[in-house]
Structure 1
Amino acid sequence: MEISSVPLHKGQLPWRGLLLAASLLIYWSSPIMVQVTGEAVPPHVAEGANVLLLNHSLSETFLIFCWYKGETADNSNEIAQFIMSITVNTTGPACSGRERKYPNGSLLFQNVTQNDTRAYTLQMLMQFFDNTKASVHFHVHHNSL
């Protein structure tokens, strides 16, 4: 099959050009989306034990992650923050001193109490300044010993 040298009628576009334009438009306009997921390990823990809030969103595209008490990302509920580019860890007003932060976005609670039973929110600021977050719950029960 030979490509015609006949000029196109007004309003017609060559298919290859149209496909290329559509492909580039899709590529340039699609942000990199990362699903933030986490889990409490274990989800039910005895008082005095440890629980790990595990971040499953292992991505090199995040710039900052923050953990909050509750389901809202409010500064007064901030437990910890980690800034990747300068490897800075900070603690917020909701930090009890029993939390340990990890560079992968996970948070370890040591010596948990009944008051620790609640939702916790992980918020991540991604490379293209997209905010994404997920909530993780765990329950502390009385130690039967």
Structure 2
Amino acid sequence: MESPSEPQHRAVSPWRGLLLTASILSCWIQPTSAQISVVSNPLYGEVNRNVTLDIQDYSGRAVSYTWFRKTITDPNEIAVYTVENREQDPGDIWKKVFPNGSLLIPDLTLSDSDDYIVVIVNSKCSIVAQGHLAVYERTSKPNLTANRTNIIENGTLAFTCVTEQAGMDILWFFDEKPLILNEKMKLSVNNQILTILSVKREDARFYQCEIRNPISSSRSDLIPLTVNCE
């Protein structure tokens, strides 16, 4: 997230882009023994928290670090850090580059999810490293609904796991244990709706759904199901 006072565009010399491209190309013909990459710390970003993008497996001395989002183009440049001067350009943005080249991104939003690229310039050439940042929000309790909770045997029943949070995995539980699907049960494409055909007495008890992403999970309240004989 950028500071509200941060300028939307800044002048970049066309020669800078040409020199950067030339130095990258010169390094491609000198492959390094280790695969340098960008890794996020923590592994997944969380909305409203900070994340640091670290450069992994680079031990050389750098002249500068230039960070980009998505592609190595001037409009997508985030910041340049010059090691000798310990200066960042621009210096008035919320994102900060540390002396070791790591990039701090504070106050994350879901829109910060993207590919991030760093160009490391040393005394010999430039090295490009890339990684992906995935940002998630904490799950909130889903709402489990049913078209009926008291049903005659052999009827059809549908449970719906309701959540306004996108991109969640949905799991189902029967008597607080993972639900094992049988031939009478089917799930919708996104697992949001559980349908039970020809309900039997052994299907009675408690149902529950859970939403989950890589950083958290939340379960609904239990819904009791009563099955009556015909």
Under TM normalisation by the shorter chain, which class is it? 0.5 to 0.7
Higher relative contact order (CA 8 A, sep 6+): 1
TM-score by length of 1: 0.66
In 1, are the aligned partners of 2:68 and 2:117 still within 8 Å (CA)?
A: yes
Moved over 6 A (4+): none
Gap regions ≥5 residues in structure 2: 1-29, 141-230
Secondary structure of 1:68's partner? strand
Q: CA RMSD in A?
A: 2.4
- Give the superposition deviation at 1:127: 0.5
Q: Does 1:82 align with 2:81?
A: yes
Q: For residue 139 of structure 1, what is the aligned residue in structure 2?
A: 134
Residues 52 and 118 of structure 1, relative CA distance in 2, 3 Å threshold:
same
Q: Residue deviations 1:93-121, cap 9 Å, x none?
A: xx9x3312101000111110011000100
Match of 2:118 among 94, 103, 122: 122
In 2, are the aligned partners of 1:78 and 1:91 still within 8 Å (CA)?
A: no
Alignment of 1:5-20 (within 5 A): none
Q: For residue 109 of structure 1, what is the aligned residue in structure 2?
A: 105
Q: For residue 52 of structure 1, what is the aligned residue in structure 2?
A: 52
Q: In structure 1, how many angstroms separate the alpha carbons of the residues matched to 2:83 and 2:109?
A: 30
TM-score by length of 2: 0.43
- Give the superposition deviation at 1:75: 1.3
Is the strand fraction higher in 1 or 2? 2
Percent of paired sites with the same residue: 21
